[in-house]
Structure 1
Amino acid sequence: MTENHHIVFDIGKVLIHYDPELPFSRLIPDAAKRKWFFDNVCTHDWNIEQDRGRTWEDAEAMLIAEHPGHAENIRNFRRTWHEMVPHAYDDSVAVMERLIDAGYDVTMLTNFAADTFGEARERFSFLKKPRGVTVSGEVGLIKPDRAIYDRHAATFGLEPSATIFIDDSRANVDGARAAGWQAVLFTGANRLERDLQALGIS
């Protein structure tokens, strides 16, 4: 087995909680109307383009032109973003910090809009502890596209076969494996520790 030198963490739903329902359960109290809004207006596909680098101004203008009656809540998606990320997963953060303290090379690879990542990094100081980070919104590439894994490996001098990637998305885990990395699907800190031990990380 190749010795594992590099450990790469995703951020959202691995190190910090993310849930757009948190503010919108207040803004659109009716569950059916709220579901319609997320299914038809501020959709996952719309939001992920900000992770790819589209500005919020352009994103909002496009949607408001299509759904003028929902203009206020379209703007509220960015306005209330801070409420969508209320806390860190302390147990996962502890795993990451322990790996750093043990001398492992730890970096991060995340689908994140550039401006909201800057906000998150100021709120959650542990995001400054790894050696570095590739932010999709800053490089114009997004998981699970092969190019962002190759970009991260080249930027930080990682040997793909000696790299372990941790992500809560099966598609992103599969993307890492297609790029020649090892990868584990994150479902919780306890399982993560067992998965890392199985890969020789203690």
Structure 2
Amino acid sequence: MNMENDERRLRPCLCFDLGGVLIRNAVFTGLPALLPAGQDLSVLRQRWLHSSVIRRFESGLCSADEFAQAFVQEWSLSISASEFLQEFYRWPEGFYAGVAETLHALRPHYQLACLSNSNALHWSKFADSLSVFDTALSSHQLGIMKPDRGIFDAAAAQLQRAPQQIWFFDDMAENVHAAQAAGWCAWQVQGWDGTRTQLAALGVPV
């Protein structure tokens, strides 16, 4: 077993974002349905990423009820906070087909991790699925969100890896650039198909 662990440590740590990479997330189809028609998707992505309300919730600084009430107000939604919270809970739908099987096959040979901007509500929803990782890291637990530099430094410390030993896959360009600035090897990918393609190009047997 020690020899197997030594062999794994000689290989890069594979670290994945969750939503939009390993997990099907309907946030950018569900959210527009709650807003006036004609919202530009790229603008919504930027607004979501930099929303002070979301940053508080996904940094573990407020409760789910406080988040829902503030979000409804910030985004001028016409539904109640409790109705929004029900919608919000449903948006992450689960692993893409084939993800769990591939990760199980890779785990004996690679250190596997995830680093996600998430919250207590969604984290508990996927608690059983996250056992496929050696280390599962969330912004709400670390108290800081991507793309802030500190989250990558904190994650590298928890993974006990030098930054250049971590291969990171995320669907948001800002997060990829921030990881690279922290010394990580990082690639922007879209969905599981894009992630598998990038892994294969790097010589990871998927």
Q: TM over 0.5, yes or no? A: yes
Alignment of 1:1-202 (within 5 A): 4-20=11-27, 21-22=29-30, 25=33, 28=34, 32=37, 35=39, 44=48, 45=51, 46-55=53-62, 56-63=64-71, 70=78, 72=80, 74-101=81-108, 103-121=109-127, 125-202=128-205
Task: Output one character per residue of 1:105-149: Cα deviation in whole Å (capped at 9) or x when no partner.
Answer: 00110000123211222xxx3311111111101121001111001
Aligned-pair identity (%): 24
Q: 1:98 to 1:31 in 2, by over 3 A?
A: farther
Task: Indicate how the Cα distance of structure 1 residues 63 and 5 shifts in structure 2: closer, same or farther if over 3 A, else same.
Answer: closer
TM-score, length of structure 1 as denominator length: 0.77
Distance in 1, Cα, partners of 2:199 & 2:112: 13
Gaps of 5+ in 2: 1-9
**Shift in alpha-carbon separation, 1:64–1:126, aligned structure 2, 3 A:** closer
Comparing 12-21 with 156-165, which one deviates more in the overlay?
12-21
Amino acid at match of 2:111: D
Change (3 A) 1:67 1:152: closer
Q: Which amino acid aligns with 1:172?
A: N
After superposition, the C-alpha distances for 1:68-96 in whole angstroms (9 at most, x for unaligned) are 98461x33222233321233212333332
Q: 1:168–1:68: structure 2 CA closer, same or farther, 3 Å change rule?
A: closer
Q: Which amino acid aligns with 2:149?
A: R
Deviates more, 1:137-146 or 1:90-99: 90-99
- Pick closer, same or farther for the CA change 1:63–1:127 going to 2, 3 Å: closer
**Which of 138-147 and 183-192 deviates more?**
183-192
Query: In the comparison of the two structures, how many residue pairs are matched?
Result: 187
TM-score, length basis structure 2: 0.75
C-alpha distance 69-9 of structure 1, shift in aligned 2 (>3 A): closer
Counterpart Cα distance in 1 of 2:23 and 2:191: 12
